[in-house]
Amino acid sequence: MKPIPHEFAIGGVFMPPLLIATVFGAIAAVATARLLNRVRLSKYFFYPPLVFLALTVVYTILIGTFAIGM
Amino acid sequence: MNRAIKSKEAFKTALAMTITYGIALGMGWDKPFWAGFAVAFCSLATFGQSFNKAVLRMAGTLAGTVAALILIALFAQQRWLFILFLSAQVGLCTYIMGGSKYSYFWNVCGLVCVIICMGAGPDSAKAFQLAILRAQETGLGILVYSLVALLIWPTSSRAQFDAVVQKLASTQHQLYRACFELMKGQGDGERLQALKLQEIQERARFDQLLDAAQIDTYEVWEARRQWRRYQGLISELTGTMERWRGSCSELQSLDLEALFPNLASYDVEMDLRYIQSRQMLARQAPDQRPTEIVPVLDEAKLRDLTHFQKATLAVIRSRLQRIEALTRSVFDSICDIGGFGKAAGEVADIPQHGIFVLDPDRATGVIRVVMIMWLAWFALVYIGQLPGGNTVLTMAAVLGMIMGGTPQLSVSLFFFPVAISTFFASILYIFVLPKLSMFLELGLLLFTVTFVICYLFASPKLVLVRLWGLGMFLTITSISNQQSYNFLVAANTALMFPVVFAIVAIAACIPFSPRPERSFMRLLRRFFRSGEAWMAGMHRNPQRRVRRRDRWAMAYHNREVSTLPRKLGAWAKFIDTKALPGTSSQQVQQLVARLQAITYHLQDLSVSGARPQTTLLVEDLSDDVRSWHLMVQKGFKRLSQDPAAGEKNKFQTGLSGVMAHLEAHLKLALDKPDKKRFSVRDCDNFYSLLGAYRGVCEALVDYAASAGAIDWTPWREERF
């Protein structure tokens, strides 16, 4: 079952779920990019900056949908 | 830097910051953090350095405010024209900044223009007030810091300057000795390389401290023309020494002491000059003046050599003569500086720069900063409630100009300094500032925070962190007489930076990849393309009229070949060799050194090619020289298509064939019964040309050998 969309309260400050999902999405994309560099798999991509952008979007949607709820 | 110096410098900056805020708040001025910025950015190690930077900041602020007022007056109601001209102004400043001695002036000029334009918007009355406020706050910050630096523990540049001058003279002496040993076949290449790097660093420090000492030391100011001449001469001497070193590899097994009978006397004279120069720099009168000495070749021993060996010796002799002339001029210059007598001899000619040509790398920086500004503008216009508002464009322009000037810096490098300083500044703004009630308490906070930041990040390597830390603290706290506290200030600032970084990261990929190894390959291709064009230009049909476009193209390629090795050296430091298996940083450095050698030999070829050649020799050997020339040109073309082509054997075989052919024809031409028709000058000029051709070929073969040792496959692979 998907989580119910809700805002995040940190020290009484309410954060929108999209912001939290984007932060985690970007961190996950950075981690993936580093891993791909280390195992030299990034050479199979035509243009890595665009792939990084795509990874950030994909992770944000996945985290937002299945972990946070947006 | 020791603790006492760190504490004193941090104390001075903190005190100046506190007094500045006190005066600005006491006068009821808005935005006192602008005065705080002036203190933070102008606090440097010595009074002279700080004052230099302060003058440039003040002048840049005034120029920027004028530019901003003109733009607002002309385009306040036309937003697209407004951003078009604003970005053009910032682009122009970025371009000039990259090549100007007063780069900080242009940097501030561009930034202040953006700050006022974006702060005032279309309101011309507000723009005028902002412009005046910015100028007076900057002036206040500079004045207060200058007074504090002058009155409390004043640090003159004199001691540091004297130490650097002594050290540089000693390193140059050692460099001369190392080159001389190398010429005799006894040198240590690694030690020479280390000395060369040390000399470059010391010369950069000398240039920096000369500017400062000129301001804070009367004796240096009085002899400033002599010091500038000395600066030019030592720079020229270093270049000549480098060329000399490059030619030494071609000497192979020649017995130099037999070929140059007065080589030992030459060495003794040079040594003496260096020792006397160091003595004068230590304020001791010289024991004796330099004696002119011309290296002489033994004609009888020369007869047994091949023409190529004679050509190599002709090149070495011209190098030794040039070094002799330059060291004599350096000696005279130091004599003049120390007051031991006016410069007696003629000063050796120092090459002057030619006509203006566009620098593609600075132009790329301009494209990036303009694109950053337009992206920020679109975000501002089309995204409602953008965190930070107008400040997004200002911050993007700040980062854009930094990256335009230093494209090697990665966007990610700014992330942690900005994130950490935003976090700490937000903590102080939210939890500490609301508790303060009087200026005594506020002043104590300002003093403590500034002192801690300046003390912890005092090292020159951490200057970026120190400036961001102070900048973010002053911006987020936004201290003013009518202080208000709003969580959104900290939250919006924190959210603004991801937007700014995203914009800068996008622009950094356009028009070229920002990866250092990719940029290195791109510059290598450009270097060889320009080398090819240079060779083609040298063999132009003399009947064809030289048009302005040809002259400009020649000047462009000339400049590219001269400047690209230095730029490649700067990129080489940022290449992550751990991510490139099969490449070491020493190999990359060696490749850059090889390119520098090609540059020197091409410049020699250009000089030798311009000398008059006897038509009889030209007629006899024109076909051979032409085929050799075409072969070198083909080599450059091949490398411009693939700079990684490490085909040393192929290059060497091709060139050896042509050289053997030329040697045979040359022997026939010079050994003809009517040989007397060639004067000594004709032979000298011809051997110089031959030596220069040979130098270019050898340098290309050396490059191919170095390139062949590197595994280029990972360089071509895509990476994040």
Average pLDDT over residues B575-594: 89
Which residues in chain B are contacts of A52 at CB distance < 8 A? 720
Find the CB nearest A13 among B487, B505, B714.
B487
Whole-number percent of chain B with pLDDT over 70:
95
Question: Averaged over B317-344, what is the pLDDT?
Answer: 86
Mean pLDDT of B9-13: 94
| Minimal C-alpha gap between A63 and chain B (Å) | 19
CA distance B449 to chain A (A): 25
Specify the higher pLDDT residue, B368 or B669: B368
Residue B196 has pLDDT above 90, yes or no: no
Q: What pLDDT is recorded for position B377?
A: 95
* Residues linked to residue A13 through DSSP beta bridges, in sequence order: A10
Q: Would you tell me which residues 490-549 of chain B have a C-beta closer than 8 angstroms to some C-beta of chain A?
A: 491, 495, 505, 509
State residue B661's pLDDT score.
78
What's chain A's average pLDDT? 88
Residue B344 has pLDDT above 70, yes or no: no
Mean pLDDT score, B481-509: 90
3 state SS of B623: helix
Quote the pLDDT of residue B57.
Answer: 94
pLDDT band at B678 (very low <50, low <70, confident <90, very high): low
pLDDT of residue B676: 55
**Which of B137-146, B198-207, B280-289, B623-632 shows the highest mean pLDDT?**
B137-146
How confident is the model over B101-106, as a mean pLDDT? 92
Q: Which residues of A touch B717 (CB under 8 A)?
A: 40, 42-43
DSSP H stretches of helix in chain A: 17-38, 48-62
Half-sphere exposure of B8 (CA within 13 A, CB side): 16
pLDDT bucket at B368, cuts 50 / 70 / 90: very high
Chain A residues bordering chain B (beta-carbon distance below 8 Å): 13, 19, 33-34, 36-37, 40, 42-49, 51-52
B204 touches chain A (CB under 8 A): no
H or E element in which residue A13 lies: strand A13-15
In 10 A of CB B69, how many CB atoms?
19
Of A19, A42, A46, the CB nearest to B719: A42
Q: Which residues of A touch B509 (CB under 8 A)?
A: 49
Region B468-488: what's the mean pLDDT?
90
- Closest chain A C-alpha to B718 CA, distance in angstroms: 4
Any domain includes A55: yes
> At residue B14, does pLDDT exceed 90?
yes
Say what the pLDDT of residue B352 is.
Answer: 55
Cross-strand partners of A14: A9
A30 domain residue, yes or no = yes
pLDDT, tens only, B612-623? 777 766 677 777
Task: Examine residue A25 and state whether it is found in any structural domain, yes or no.
Answer: yes
Give me the pLDDT at residue B257, please.
80
- Do the domain assignments include residue A9? no
Cβ-defined contact of A51 to B487 (cutoff 8 Å)? no
Q: Is B720 in contact with A46 (Cβ distance < 8 A)?
A: no
Q: Is this structure's pTM higher than 0.80?
A: yes
**What gap in Å lies between CA B565 and CA B334, rounded to an integer?**
31
Per-residue exposure over B625-659, b if at least 16 CB sit within 10 Å of its own CB, e if not: beebbebbbebbbbbbeebebbbbeebbebbeebb
Tell me what the mean pLDDT of segment B166-184 comes to. 91
- For chain B, give the mean pLDDT: 87
CA nearest neighbour of B493 among B392, B399, B416, B388: B388
- What is the pLDDT, as a whole number, of residue B258? 82
Calculate the CA dihedral of residues B17, B19, B20, B24 and round it to 10 degrees: 140
SS3 B358: coil
B427 Cβ under 8 Å from any chain A Cβ: no
A7 located within any domain: no
pLDDT in the model for residue B231: 92
Cis peptide before B122 (omega within 30 of 0): no
If one compares B255 and B479, the residue with the highest pLDDT of the two is B479
Q: Is residue A28 part of a domain?
A: yes
pLDDT exceeds 80 at position A10: no
Nearest to B235 by CA among B318, B160, B168, B161: B168
pLDDT digits (tens, 9 = 90+) for B64-93: 999 999 999 999 889 999 999 999 999 999
Pick among A45, A50, A55, A60 to test the B interface (most B CBs inside 10 A)? A45
- What pLDDT does A53 receive? 93
CB nearest to A36's CB, from B505, B579, B720:
B720
The pair of three-digit structure tokens given for residue B665, joined into one six-digit string: 């024809």
| Nearest Cα to Cα of residue B27 among B142, B148, B144, B140 | B140
User: What is the distance between the alpha carbons of residues B34 and B194, in angstroms, rounded to a whole number?
Assistant: 44
The boundaries of the domain holding residue A41 are 14-68
Give the pLDDT of residue B665: 78
**Percent with pLDDT over 90 in chain B:** 44
Question: What φ, ψ does residue B25 adopt, rounded to 5°?
Answer: -70, -40
Q: What average pLDDT does the segment A61-66 reach?
A: 91
User: Does residue B659 or residue B527 have the better pLDDT?
Assistant: B527
pLDDT at B468 > cutoff 60 = yes
Q: Is the CB of B579 less than 8 angstroms away from the CB of A45?
A: no
pLDDT above 80: residue B659: no
Tell me what pLDDT residue B369 has.
96
Domains of chain B, CATH where assigned: 3-155+357-508 (no CATH), 158-338 (1.20.58), 516-716 (1.20.58)
Instruction: Quote the number of domains for chain A.
Output: 1
In a domain? residue A2: no
Work out how many CB contacts closer than 8 A connect A with B. 30
Distance, CA of B538 to CA of B672 (rounded, Å): 29
Tens digits of per-residue pLDDT, B701-719? Answer: 889 988 989 999 999 898 8
Tokens 């030592």 sit on residue: B234
List Cα–Cα distances, B611 to A25, B409, B670, in angstroms: 66, 44, 19
Q: What pLDDT is attached to residue B616?
A: 65
Higher pLDDT, B576 or B692: B576
Give me the pLDDT at residue B445, please: 95
Amino acid at B439: F
B108: its two tokens: 């501030």
Q: Which residue of chain A is at minimal alpha-carbon distance from B514?
A: A49
Q: Which of B15, B13, B17, B55 has its CA nearest to residue B33?
A: B17
Nearest chain B residue (CA) to A41: B719
Output B351 or B104, whichever has higher pLDDT: B104
State how far the Cα of B653 lies from the Cα of B651, in Å rounded to an integer: 6
- When mean pLDDT is compared across B191-205, B368-382, B470-484, the lowest value belongs to B191-205
Cis check: omega of the bond before B511, within 30 degrees of 0: yes
Q: Which of B143, B115, B157, B120 is nearest to B16 (CA)?
A: B143
Q: Do A52 and B720 touch (CB under 8 A)?
A: yes
Region B112-122: mean pLDDT is 89
Q: In this structure, are residues B117 and B71 in contact, taking their beta carbons and an 8 Å threshold? A: yes
Examine residue A21 and state whether it is found in any structural domain, yes or no: yes
List of residues 6+ apart from B315 with CB closer than 8 A: B247, B250, B604, B687, B688, B691, B692, B695
Highest averaged pLDDT of the listed ranges B119-128, B329-338, B351-360, B647-656: B329-338
Q: Which helix (H) or strand (E) holds A8?
A: strand A8-10
DSSP state of B297: -
